[in-house]
Structure 1
Amino acid sequence: MKILIIGSKGMLGQACVKHFSKSHKVSVFNDRYSLETRECFTKSLSEFDIDLTIHCVGKIPQVNSNEVDLFQINSAMTMDLVNVMDANNIPFIYPSTDCVFNGHGPNNYYSKDHFQDCNNSYGVSKLIGEKIVLGSNNGYVVRVSIIGPDIRPSARGLWNWVNNWPIGCMIDGYINHTWNGITTLQWCKEIEKLFILGNPDRRLYQLGTKKNISKYHLIKLIATKLGKENIINEVSTAQNVNRSLFADYDVQEIEKQIDEIMVNKDLV
């Protein structure tokens, strides 16, 4: 299959290129997008001969993105991408996030039927992107929180944050922030199963592990696998945060997912 990865330099894009290149023809598209360059951007995009597009570009609040950046990339860029893919009848995958929910709703898991009650600009910008994709002819939304290694020195993801801890420093981990996401490698494997080896039977997928864990236990698990010996303190915030998603089907537990990344040394 001929797959186009839009945004191959970020955490998810890196994983997609490495995973799908093993058995598919992968092209990458990293042109910068802005409202001023959108016409040139979409024209260049239309020239690819592809069977599937994966949109790995996304602005996150951890990278000091302002509101204009968030909505321009997560919403406006998505709309232009969808229009190109619809015009060429190419399936389009939009990675979304558990942050479309505010984390203060159900006691356990958010289902697809729950109202998307995000209360920050990042969540709203991703939610708008979801609506755009679900309103298209060929778009699919895969909603899940992801973690994974990132080769960029400036990377701000959870995995890299843990990996970059100085020896001996003490770290705080939230015991009342709950999570059931997956790794970037597992994300790629699920996309392969759903969209390449199989035929997607819905427009919105929610993925996640059956069992959720606290952010404290998550960073402790990553630290152990990376050989970090820092002291991790159990701390709590005033309000619990739980964005765990009710998944469409079970995936393997997070510890096994992390072990698979550690075996694939080229990913670490």
Structure 2
Amino acid sequence: MRILIIGSKGMLGQACVKHFSKSHKVNVFDDRYSLENREVFAKLILEFDVDLIIHCVGKIPQLTSDEADLFHINAVMTMDIVNIIDENNIPFIYPSTDCVFNGHGPDDYYSKYQFQDCSNSYGTSKLLGEKIVLTSNNGYVVRVSIIGPDRRPSAQGLWNWVSNWPIGAVIDGFTNHTWNGITTLQWCKEIEKLFILGKPDRRLYQLGTAKRISKYNLIKLIASKLGKENTINEVSTAQNVNRSLIPDYYVQDIEIQIDEIVGNEDLL
């Protein structure tokens, strides 16, 4: 299969290139997308004879304080790309996030049919991106929170934060923030199963593990796997945060997922 990855330099894009290049022909589009280079992108689709597009470009609040940039990248850019893929009838995967929910509702899991009550610009921009993609007959949304290594010096993700803890630093971990996301490697494996080895039977997928884990226990688990010996304090915030999702099907336990990354030096 010929796979085009939009945005190969971010955390998810890196994982996609490494995973899919093993068995498929992969090309990337890393230019900052704009109306000016729209024709370049459209030409690449035709010349590479693309079978599947994975849209790994996305702005997160940790990397920008510009709300307009969040909406431009996560929604406006997505809208124009959707128009192009519809012209060429190519399946298009939009990675979304549990942040389309605010996490302050009942202490339960979110169904994909529940109202998306995001209360910040990042969640709203991703929700707009979802709605745009779902207007296309070729668009698919995969909604889940992801963690994984990121080789960029500017990386701000949870995994890199843990791996960069200085020796002796004392860390706080939230006991009342809960999560049931997956690793970037697991995300790629699920895409392979759903869209390459199989045939997608729905337009919106929610993924996740059967058991949720507190952020305290999550960073403690990652730290132990990476050989970090920092002291981690159990702390809580005034308000619980729980964005755990009801998955369409359960993926393997998060500890197994983390072990698969740690055991593969090429991914670190």
Q: Please indicate the TM-score interval, normalised by the length of the shorter structure.
A: over 0.9
Segments of 5+ residues of structure 1 without an aligned counterpart are: none
The 1-side partners of 2:121 and 2:20 are apart by 32
Q: Which residue of 1 aligns with 2:206?
A: 206
> What's 2:145 paired with?
145
Deviation at 1:49, TM superposition (A): 1.4
What is the match of residue 193 of structure 1?
A: 193
The corresponding residue for 1:88 is 88
Give the Å deviation of 1:193.
0.2
Shift of 1:31: 1.0
Which stretches in structure 2 are left out of the alignment for 5+ residues? Answer: none
In the TM superposition, residue 41 of structure 1 has moved relative to its aligned partner by: 5.2
Q: How does 1:245-256 map to 2 (within 5 A)?
A: 245-256=245-256
Identity %: 79
How do 1:114-153 residues align onto structure 2 when only pairs under 5 Å count?
114-153=114-153
**One-letter amino acid of the counterpart of residue 239, structure 2:** Q
**Aligned-partner Cα distance in 2 for 1:8–1:39:** 18
Matches of 1:114 and 1:220, distance apart in 2: 31
Q: Kindly state the Cα deviation for residue 65 of structure 1 after the two structures are TM-superposed.
A: 3.6
Question: How far is 1:264 from its partner?
Answer: 1.3
1-side partners of 2:204 and 2:39: how far apart? 30
Q: What SS does structure 1 have at the residue aligned with 2:3?
A: strand
Residues matched between the structures, number = 267
TM-score, normalised via structure 1 length = 0.97
What does 1:1-268 align with in structure 2 at a 5 Å threshold? 1-34=1-34, 37=36, 39-40=38-39, 42-47=41-46, 48-268=48-268
Q: What stretches of structure 1 move > 4 A for 4+ residues in a row?
A: none
For residues 246 and 39 of structure 1, the distance between their equivalents in structure 2, rounded to whole angstroms, comes to: 37
Query: Equivalents in 2 of 1:29, 1:42: separation in Å?
Result: 7
Cα separation, 2, equivalents of 1:111 and 1:215: 21
C-alpha offsets along residues 32-54 of structure 1, whole Å, 9 cap, x if unaligned? 124x5354454444443110000
Q: CA deviation at 1:112?
A: 1.0
- Indicate conservation of the 8 Å contact 1:59/1:65, yes or no: no
Q: RMSD of aligned C-alpha atoms?
A: 1.1
Q: Give the residue type in structure 2 aligned to 1:198.
A: G
Alpha-carbon contact 1:31-1:41 (below 8 Å) kept: no
CA–CA distance in structure 2, aligned partners of residues 44 and 170 of structure 1: 51
Q: TM-score, normalised by structure 2?
A: 0.97
